[in-house]
Amino acid sequence: MAAPTRAARPLRRRPQLSEEVAIHLRGLIISGALRSGDFVRLDETAAELGVSVTPVREALLTLRGEGLVESVPNRGYVVSPLGRGDVTDIFWLQKRIAVELAVRVLRVAEPADLDRLTALNDELRRAVSSSDADRIAAAEFEFHREVNRIADSPKLAWFLYSAARYTPYRLYTADPAWGRSAVDSHARLIDAFRRGDRDEVIAQTAGQFDDAVRRLLEHLDRRPE
Long-range residue pairs from 178-182, CB within 8 A, at least 24 positions apart, any chain: 178/1, 178/211, 178/215, 179/124, 179/127, 179/128, 179/136, 180/128, 181/211, 182/124, 182/128, 182/140, 182/208
User: What's the pLDDT tens digit per position in 12-36?
Assistant: 445 489 999 999 999 999 999 999 9
User: What's the pLDDT tens digit per position in 43-99?
Assistant: 999 999 999 999 999 999 999 999 999 999 888 899 999 999 999 999 999 999 999
Which 3 state secondary structure label does DSSP give 78? strand
Give CA–CA dist 138/130, Å, rounded. 13
